[in-house]
Structure 1
Amino acid sequence: MRVWSRAVAVLAAGAVVVAGVPALAGVVTVTDAGVTGRTGAQATGGSAALGAARTVATRAQVTPGDTRLMPSTPRTDTPRITNGEITDIEVIGNRVFIAGTFTSIANVGGTAIAQKSLASYNLDTGKVDTGFKPTIDGAVAAVEASPDGTSLYIAGSFNTINGVTKRKIARLNPTTGAPVAAFTATASARATALAVSPTAVYVGGQFATVNGVARSGLAALNPTTGVVDTAFNLPVTGGIGVGGMLTVQQLKLTHDRSKLLVVHTGRQIAGQDRYGVALIGTASKALLPWRTRLWEDNLSFVGGIQRVFAGDIAPDDSYFVVTSGSGGDRPPINDTAIAYSLTGNDHVEPLWISRHFDSIYSVAITATAVYVGGHFSWQESPTSNVPWPGLDNVGYGTGQGLSGYGLGDQVVRRDHLGALDPLTGTALEWNPGSNSYEGEKAMLATARGLLVGGDGNVKGGKTTGRVAFFDMSKEPAPSALDTTVTTPIEGAVKQAGESFDLGGQALAPAGVSKVQVEVMDRNSGKYLQADLTTWGAFKSLNATVAAPNATSTTWKLPVSLPAGVYQIQARTVGRDGAGDTTKAIKKIEAFRFDDLPPATRITAPTAGLIATQSFVATGTATDDKGVSSMIYSFRTPDNRYLQDDGSVAAVYNTFRGEPDVLGATSATWQYEVTLPTEGQWRMTATAVDTAGQSDLRGDTRDWTVSATGVPPTVAITAPVAMTPPTAAAPLTVAPGATVTFAGTAADEDALKSVEIYLRNNTTREALAADGTWGADSVAAYHRISPTNLDAATFDWSFTTVPLTPGVYDFRVRATDRLGLTTSNTNLGRLTVTAQVPGDAFPNGLLSFTGTDQNVDRLHLDLAGTATDDKGVKAVRVALRDLDTGRYAQPNGTMAAAFATLDATLAAPNATSTTFTLPVDLPTKGNYSVEAWAVDTAGQQDGSTSGATAKYLVYPGDADPTLEPSITPVEGEVYPGGRIVVTGRAVDDVGMQKVELQITNAAGQGMNAAGTFGRAGTWIAAFLTSPGSPGSNFAYTSPVVPAGTYTVTIRGMDNYGQYQQPVRTVSVTVTD
């Protein structure tokens, strides 16, 4: 059982105990430049040292005692950066420093000033600091000030600053941007993260050495000279990021500077397992015992790839939050924000996990809120399920089915920016929105407000460029004459066409005379009129006031809105005629569940190499009502878009087209394009339906355009020769010895990497991305070439560990500098069997191999047979709970590590024997059972065919049911050719899906496209609230021929248990 609480909770024995939440009222002493302040409930406000002097002001700090949320509208007088991405933001006094991949900055209304990678402006004046002009030859990934504000440190991929060699790490004069000559810290590869104290500069990245001293990914430097601290030697190893990447994503010091938070993509720090995050004692310079097992337990669900991205520490040092992105919606470790206490030793559990359904790239914590930025469109509402809404294995991100719309009031709309309650991880009412493409990747909270950076130019509904400043001083002070909108909550999604109440509270010292409400369509700018139906010019509507003339009263206004996005504004007027000077604002959405958004697919050209800059892209578009138009865009990796005149610019631009058959529910489309340059391009195609709804995400396709580009080739020379695409004969070797694979890779231009894949398909042992070998490793391509490979040819080799018996799959591929990778057809492949000569593999079989959902206690009795030509020594059985990814261990517990249980043999060492295994299960779950026989030579069964079973072990859980009011009923007649199925499915835990079969009189089953053929095809119906105990469902078939049909309907709950028996009715379709 895995539970993360939204309130203080102590669970029963055998469960994870979560008995704490962030102690926001704690007290921590903070010392900065001689100024001591107290944070938490006893805080007295910001440090007086935060002055305006440019070179002496200390680094900006969050004001812990401020309980307000940030304003939702940013300032519009700050400088504009309009290209590239923003990677980090820092503040010293009244000066902002911005790092990223941009090339210029401009004052509002002014001409662009060339300033690459790092720029500064003044918060007070909103003007570019033209005196700060470092010339940097590469991107800056991180920028951090010294605590006294006299130095500025940067990290990135650069090699020179102002013509002076400064590789990857540098110290700058914060006034001019000039590099400080006395500081030298040369890293062997990209640096990505910084944290600075008065005595150390902590730097993380992808490097192996700093100043020639071995430091894998993490180092501490003297802040004056850059000399490596020899006593701080905590290497980060075992890269399991994308493509096996090993890097440090974020470094954060606690405010008392006693601990260093390391957010990283490795397996270990200082030789100890610390997946995802680790804490280091700054005084001891040692790894602390604090450890979470969350990533270890769940990486198998996401392909073994670590996607942790950002982190921040609360102002009172009671907790921290880490986020993840770019890996798909899969809680608890992908597309989530996770809060942890900073105290504890091993097996530290999260305080809460907040599912965001899409990437979270940045986080900043204040005393009031956890602010997050990214590419998400939804956050958990305050009433969402614990530990998160929705099904773990179903994606609700934009472009995945109905997205978060299918989760109803468990989620609220938040476009790329949002704020979380520090106690629960659910959404607060802060919803500025952003139009960023990749997302908001930089965020900094200070005493003055919140700075946010991403690759969009509109934030909070205002044009700000890449960076926006939500200035606390611009937030109106509370007034005695005040209005609030309490329902719906900010970002709520309501059913279009159904009535609901707008409501809130009104305050007026002279008594409330009326409350005026405006409902504006945010797309058209039109207002709801007095008839509550039509839309037109500005109009305020009088709400119903519960207690007229009272100084405090509630109010409400019933409305029914068509599908769209709306802004609600409310204003109180007192009996004395005085009106609320600041309108209460709330943004909501209405969505039509009876008219689903369209879906888009790009079918050609296939991803990869295209030899011409002019080509025709083709695809399909489907919609339940009809497709009316198409929208296309083309962009480069640096976020520059194809324009109408054929040029490329950092301005979002689209092209419109039509499907081949206008209004068809299933249509093809084509679009001819000429790209102005070769290189990497991404196309996005988005269908629009007849109601004007767009595909929630669209489809994308990546190409490398090159007239001369050819993917690299590989060949194997040992242990046997293999030149693709000609396959080599399988190779058999004796177990116990190593095998050396060797060969060549070549490219007409230059190679970038050579990678291999190796897995023992019999024992599950595999080579991970970081080179780790074992049964718990997630198989992935492992780079065997140098990181700086840049040659036309490369002779590669790899020597295995001593091989255990089994059948091995080996592959090799190469990637060139254009990004082209060896095609699947031309991979180097070998099948190697490690087998004792003259001794066949054994064979184990289970007596039961189906799925049993009727287990009513935490116990299984397993049985089967095993045979071998020499003798069966053992039968090993693995029981994996598919809900948690954990295996039953021999000691009776559950853990993520692969494990087997030994069965009892009736005749040990015989050539044929039966076996039994009674198992008391530690927890309920969806258990996958696999059995392997082992012979007297130690060889394991090479196949699990006939040796797998599934048991749904949920004692006391009821099967799902369909409520009686279901359509169709027996004998229903459908004129017009379509069969409509509707109803409601219920379960005591939650509904995962409803499926149906439509079978014609000839016994043929219909597939989702409406074609009849093989019987037994199940088609998924649409669920309005998947994962909830009760959900309506609907399905409308394509047009089918007139005749009689059998409709079979069944529901499946969150545990995978099916309704028993299924519902079956006969219907007739007429012309």
Structure 2
Amino acid sequence: MKSPSRASKIVGALALALVASAGPAVTPPAQAAQNVVVTQLPDQTHPRVLNGRIYAIAAAGDLVAVGGTFTSVRNGAGGSPDQARQWIFLYNKATGKIVESFNPTLRGPAPSTTGLVADQPGVEAIEFAPDGKSMYVAGWFTSVNGQSRQRVVRLNLDGSLTAGFSASVNNTVNDLELTDGRLIVGGEFSKVNQQPVERLVSLDPQTGATQSDFNLPLTDSRDEFAPYLQDMDASPDGNWLAIAGNFQTVGTVARNQVALIDLEPGGGTPRVANWSTDAYSVDCADVYDDSWVRSVNISPDSSYMVVAGTGAYVPNTLCDSAARWELPPTQSGDHLSPTWKTLTGGDTFWTAEVTESAVYVGGHQRWVNNPRPSPGGDSDGPGSVERDGIVALDPLTGAPLSWNPGRDRGCGAEAITATDDFLLVGSDTEFFAGQLRQRLAPLPVAGGLANP
């Protein structure tokens, strides 16, 4: 909980903000709180990703696993040779070195993916296992190391398949969450382990078997196509699962695009929480008829979440916005409203990462604090603040902080992960804060400044 003294100090700061090798086994840490705003210049010792896009970054101890659509990486030091890696690689952030022994062979269902092909859907999500000796990987692939593995796999740190785990999913998995003895899997699928399952399922983390007590299908698409889960996040305290995607019903309960699930940790049956809003029921631009929410992320203290999305400029909506929502017990019931919101005026937010000192939001946005651009959007309206491709917002107010490294916008920053010593930003572009830093920008906590 933040103290009243910090809340009063932020008023004074607001004006300024508006101006201006694998090694031993590791244990996955709790979500990093980060009590400072990270530095703006990226560390140059971490690896570089030479093509494609980064969709997922997971960290445990000194190990970082990166997933996406890429096929080529190299160590950060000048003169390092390129290394082939299809959709996933592992590195040690203490040394900056790629773990060469971790090189699993992932392939997709189409003939074009029998070789190294960039920009296939690839790896969408990664979670380290509690044993620190393996990781769960999910996405579009249908084989790993020459063996059938349908879109979810557990890998050892040497890239081999973990014995005893086997799950089969019939379509793309977009996200994973590991919490309280559950591996929760969400995406575009309709069957898991040969049984009908609608887009959201809980698996046994040891075996991959379906856990039947988790029965919350996502149904009732917002458009003429099938529903899907886009993103989800489990609260650090294990109580909540926030989900986002193309749906209007969760289980038997009406929820549009965003829902909160009470996980009932400790043996209870998960259920839809008494928490809902009408804000995501509205339509944005026609091209986003299915879903315009792209990211949900819960704070380190499990008290609130930030929802970010796309949609184009539509007045008096949350299209192209990031918004803070309080979780129970602070806020519950129906027709809820956000604590704060920031709008880009016409550009997409792809992802959000909440820390104690800042809410980092990435996309291909040009501005924030921009609710009144010219008619049609895509312009800087009164009070707007330029923040190309990434922004740090104050957690209490949503005001943009003076932190402003800037990055080549491209499609956008689609993965942001906070660790104890870095904010790791993954994208599809090559320059961050004016420095060549291909697709992976590690921003150090050391040297960071406190948010007053």
Q: TM-score range by the shorter chain?
A: 0.7 to 0.9
Q: Report the CA distance between 1:61 and its aligned residue.
A: 3.7
The aligned amino acid for 1:455 is D
Which of 326, 342, 353 in structure 2 is aligned with 1:354?
Answer: 342
1:193 aligns with 2:175: yes
- Choose between structure 1 and 2: higher strand proportion: 1
| 1:618-657 alignment runs, 5 A limit | none
Which of 61, 64, 73 in structure 2 is aligned with 1:93?
Answer: 61
| 1:461 to 1:148, Cα distance in 2 relative to 1, 3 A | farther
1:265 aligns with 2:246: yes
3-state SS, counterpart of residue 295 of structure 1: coil
Q: Report the CA distance between 1:471 and its aligned residue.
A: 1.2
| 1:162 to 1:300, Cα distance in 2 relative to 1, 3 A | closer
| 1:77 to 1:154, Cα distance in 2 relative to 1, 3 A | same
3-state SS, counterpart of residue 280 of structure 2: helix
Q: Report the CA distance between 1:368 and its aligned residue.
A: 0.7
| 1:79 to 1:311, Cα distance in 2 relative to 1, 3 A | same
Normalized against structure 2, the TM-score is what?
A: 0.86
| 1:421-460 alignment runs, 5 A limit | 421-460=394-433
Task: Render the CA deviation track for 1:17-73: whole Å, top value 9, x for unaligned.
Answer: xxxxxx5459xxxxxxxxxxxxxxxxxxxxxxxxx9844322244443x43211011
Partner of 2:196: 214
Task: Render the CA deviation track for 1:668-724: whole Å, top value 9, x for unaligned.
Answer: xxxxxxxxxxxxxxxxxxxxxxxxxxxxxxxxxxxxxxxxxxxxxxxxxxxxxxxxx
The aligned amino acid for 1:267 is Q
The aligned amino acid for 1:56 is A
| 1:964-975 alignment runs, 5 A limit | none
Identical counterparts, % of pairs: 32
| 1:395 to 1:179, Cα distance in 2 relative to 1, 3 A | farther
Contact 2:284 2:292 in 1 (8 A): no
| 1:476 to 1:70, Cα distance in 2 relative to 1, 3 A | closer
Partner of 1:394: 375
Larger RCO, structure (CA 8 Å, separation 6 or more): 2
Partner of 2:8: none
**Alpha-carbon separation, structure 2, partners of 1:462 and 1:216:** 44
Partner of 1:345: 333
Partner of 1:323: 308
The aligned amino acid for 2:317 is P
Structure 1 stretch displaced more, 200-209 or 461-470: 461-470
Once superposed, what is the RMSD of the aligned Cα atoms?
2.1
Q: Report the CA distance between 1:256 and its aligned residue.
A: 0.8
Which of 38, 47, 50 in structure 2 is aligned with 1:70?
Answer: 38
Task: Render the CA deviation track for 1:883-934: whole Å, top value 9, x for unaligned.
Answer: xxxxxxxxxxxxxxxxxxxxxxxxxxxxxxxxxxxxxxxxxxxxxxxxxxxx
1:365 aligns with 2:368: no
**Alpha-carbon separation, structure 2, partners of 1:203 and 1:248:** 9
| 1:551-570 alignment runs, 5 A limit | none
**Alpha-carbon separation, structure 2, partners of 1:245 and 1:120:** 34
Partner of 2:390: 417
3-state SS, counterpart of residue 230 of structure 1: coil
Q: Report the CA distance between 1:370 and its aligned residue.
A: 0.4
Partner of 2:293: 308
The aligned amino acid for 1:466 is R
3-state SS, counterpart of residue 350 of structure 2: strand
1:335 aligns with 2:317: no
| 1:690-839 alignment runs, 5 A limit | none
Partner of 1:104: 72
| 1:185 to 1:317, Cα distance in 2 relative to 1, 3 A | same
Q: Report the CA distance between 1:429 and its aligned residue.
A: 1.2
**Alpha-carbon separation, structure 2, partners of 1:182 and 1:112:** 34
**Alpha-carbon separation, structure 2, partners of 1:191 and 1:53:** 26
**Alpha-carbon separation, structure 2, partners of 1:314 and 1:136:** 33
Gaps of 5+ in 2: 5-20, 109-121
The aligned amino acid for 1:105 is V
Partner of 2:232: 251
Task: Render the CA deviation track for 1:349-406: whole Å, top value 9, x for unaligned.
Answer: 11111102210001101001100100001112xxxxxxx6316x83432xxxxx11xx
Q: Report the CA distance between 1:305 and its aligned residue.
A: 3.9
| 1:147 to 1:435, Cα distance in 2 relative to 1, 3 A | same
| 1:238 to 1:431, Cα distance in 2 relative to 1, 3 A | same
**Alpha-carbon separation, structure 1, partners of 2:130 and 2:438:** 29
Q: Report the CA distance between 1:299 and its aligned residue.
A: 1.9
3-state SS, counterpart of residue 440 of structure 1: coil
**Alpha-carbon separation, structure 1, partners of 2:62 and 2:433:** 22
Contact 2:38 2:448 in 1 (8 A): no
1:155 aligns with 2:138: yes
**Alpha-carbon separation, structure 2, partners of 1:425 and 1:119:** 34
Q: Report the CA distance between 1:300 and its aligned residue.
A: 6.7
Contact 1:198 1:223 in 2 (8 A): no
Contact 1:311 1:363 in 2 (8 A): yes
Task: Render the CA deviation track for 1:785-804: whole Å, top value 9, x for unaligned.
Answer: xxxxxxxxxxxxxxxxxxxx
Which of 98, 108, 115 in structure 2 is aligned with 1:128?
Answer: 98
| 1:642-681 alignment runs, 5 A limit | none
**Alpha-carbon separation, structure 1, partners of 2:306 and 2:276:** 14
Highest CA radius of gyration, 1 or 2?
A: 1
Contact 1:94 1:122 in 2 (8 A): yes
The aligned amino acid for 2:148 is T
Contact 2:308 2:349 in 1 (8 A): yes
Partner of 1:467: 440
| 1:923-938 alignment runs, 5 A limit | none
The aligned amino acid for 1:363 is A
**Alpha-carbon separation, structure 2, partners of 1:123 and 1:300:** 40
3-state SS, counterpart of residue 283 of structure 2: helix
3-state SS, counterpart of residue 394 of structure 1: coil
1:115 aligns with 2:90: no
Partner of 2:158: 176
**Alpha-carbon separation, structure 1, partners of 2:442 and 2:30:** 15
Partner of 1:577: none
**Alpha-carbon separation, structure 2, partners of 1:253 and 1:423:** 21
Partner of 2:119: none
The aligned amino acid for 2:421 is R
1:164 aligns with 2:129: no
Which of 130, 141, 146 in structure 1 is aligned with 2:129?
Answer: 146
Q: Report the CA distance between 1:246 and its aligned residue.
A: 2.1
Partner of 1:374: 363
Q: Report the CA distance between 1:151 and its aligned residue.
A: 2.8
The aligned amino acid for 1:89 is I
Contact 1:263 1:308 in 2 (8 A): yes
3-state SS, counterpart of residue 188 of structure 1: coil
**Alpha-carbon separation, structure 2, partners of 1:467 and 1:476:** 19
3-state SS, counterpart of residue 49 of structure 2: coil
Contact 2:42 2:442 in 1 (8 A): yes
3-state SS, counterpart of residue 153 of structure 1: strand
**Alpha-carbon separation, structure 1, partners of 2:251 and 2:49:** 40
Q: Report the CA distance between 1:476 and its aligned residue.
A: 6.7
3-state SS, counterpart of residue 215 of structure 2: coil
3-state SS, counterpart of residue 90 of structure 1: strand
Q: What is the total number of aligned residue pairs between the two structures?
A: 409
Q: Report the CA distance between 1:148 and its aligned residue.
A: 4.4
**Alpha-carbon separation, structure 2, partners of 1:224 and 1:135:** 22
Gaps of 5+ in 1: 1-22, 27-51, 381-387, 398-402, 479-1071
Partner of 1:812: none
**Alpha-carbon separation, structure 2, partners of 1:187 and 1:413:** 42
**Alpha-carbon separation, structure 1, partners of 2:180 and 2:90:** 23
The aligned amino acid for 2:225 is G
Q: Report the CA distance between 1:245 and its aligned residue.
A: 4.8
